[in-house]
Structure 1
C-alpha cells in the first residue's frame, strides 16, 4: 500500500476544493436598482415572481369554490407546476393544475397545443385574450391559458375522473383564471 501517494492525492483534492470555493465566493456582486420585467418599466408583481409562490395565488378554499362548493382541495404537488387533488368533486375525484411559464407566450402555447393535436380556441377572460384548450376525445379535462400580467403565461387545467358525470371542466378553469387575473392586477 502506497500511503504517501494516497496522501498526496487527497492533499491535491483538498487544495483544488479550497481553490474552487475561494474563486466562487469572489464572483458575486450586488447590482443597484429595482427589478422590472423584460422591456417593462413597472416593478415586478410579487404575487407571481417567486419560486413556488404562484402556488399560493389562490387559496384552497378559492379553488374549491370555483369548482364546486363541497369539494375538499388537498395539496398534491408543488414544483414546476402546482397541483391539487379534488376530493368529492362532481362525478368523483379530480385534479386541478396551475402552471406559470415566465418566458412563455400565447403564440407558443397555441403552436405547442396544435402540435399535440389539442383543440385551442381563443376566448376572453377578464378582458384579456386567453386560450381554451381541450384534448381530443377527452370531455373530462379542460385548460385555460392567458398572458401573465408581468410576463409569461399562466395556465389552469382541471381533470375529472374519466367517464364520470360532471359539469363542464372549462367553466371551472375559466373561473380559476378569472380569479387569478383579478388578484394579479
Structure 2
C-alpha cells in the first residue's frame, strides 16, 4: 500500500469514527454536580438571601447626597451596580462592589478604554482615579476592598462643576472604607 493510500484510508477511518460518535446518545438527564434529577428547578428562593442587595445600602442616601454636594439622593437602580440621582444639581452616582474583582484588571480595563488613571491612597488602601478625557467633570475611584475584591464609585454631574472632579468619589470611598453610615 502506498503512503498516499495509507493516509487516505486513515482519513476515511477517522471521519467514520467522528461521524459514528456524533450519532451517539447518552441515556439519562443532565444534572449539575451534587444535584439530583428533578431537584434543580432553576428558581432561586431569594428570601434565603436577606442581604442580597445590602451593598446598595452601604451608605445612607442622605450621606451620599451630602458627600457629592446635594441635598437628596434618590435610588434608581439596585443590582450589580447601585445608582442614585442626587438633587437639586442632578448628579448621577454609581457604586459597585465586585467581591471577586481584580484591582489590576480593573485598572488595565480603564486604561484600555482610554481613561487616564492616577494611583492614590484612600484610608491606607491602594486606589486609583479614572477619568474620561472627553468628560472632564466625571470621575471614578476604585479601591481594594478590605473584605476582598474591589469597590468603585463614579460621580457624574450634569454639566461642568467647579473644583476637582474626583473629590466627591474620593469622599464616598473614604466613607465606605471607614464604615461610616
Alignment TM-score > 0.5, same fold:
yes
CA distance, structure 1, for counterparts of residue 108 and residue 102 of structure 2: 10
Equivalent position of 2:149 in the other structure: 152
Cα distance in 1 for residues equivalent to 2:155 and 2:84: 10
Which residue number corresponds to residue 81 of structure 1?
81
Q: Which has the larger radius of gyration?
A: 2
Shift of 1:61: 1.0
Q: CA deviation at 1:25?
A: 2.9
Q: Which residue of 1 aligns with 2:26?
A: none
Q: Compute the TM-score of the two structures, normalised by the length of structure 2.
A: 0.70
- Count how many residue pairs are aligned between Structure 1 and Structure 2: 138
Q: Which residue of 2 aligns with 1:63?
A: 64
Residues in 2 aligned to 1:71 and 1:134: alpha-carbon distance in whole angstroms: 25
- Alignment partner of 1:109 out of 106, 111, 129: 106
What TM-score do the two structures reach when normalised by structure 1?
0.68
The separation in 1 between residues aligned to 2:51 and 2:119, in whole angstroms, is 29
Q: Say whether the 8 Å CA contact 1:106–1:131 is kept in structure 2.
A: no
Q: Which residue in the other structure is 1:171 paired with?
A: 167
Match 1:126 to one of 111, 123, 127: 123
Structure 2: give runs of 5+ residues left out of the alignment.
1-28, 30-35, 41-49
Following TM superposition, by how much is the alpha carbon of 1:152 offset from its aligned partner in structure 2, in angstroms? 0.7
- Displacement of 1:71: 2.1
Stretches of 4+ moved more than 2 A in 1? Answer: 22-26, 164-169
Structure 1: segments with no counterpart, 5+ residues:
1-15, 17-21, 27-48
Counterpart residue number, 1:40? none
**Aligned Cα root-mean-square deviation (Å):** 2.3
- 1:116-135 deviation line (CA, Å, top 9, x unaligned): 00001100100111011101
User: SS at 1:73's partner residue?
Assistant: strand
Q: Deviations over 1:138-174 (max 9, x none)?
A: 1121000001111110000000113x34443310100
Q: Hey, what's the Cα distance between the residues in 1 that align with 2:102 and 2:137?
A: 26
1:50 is displaced (CA, Å) by 4.2
Secondary structure of the residue aligned to 1:95 is strand
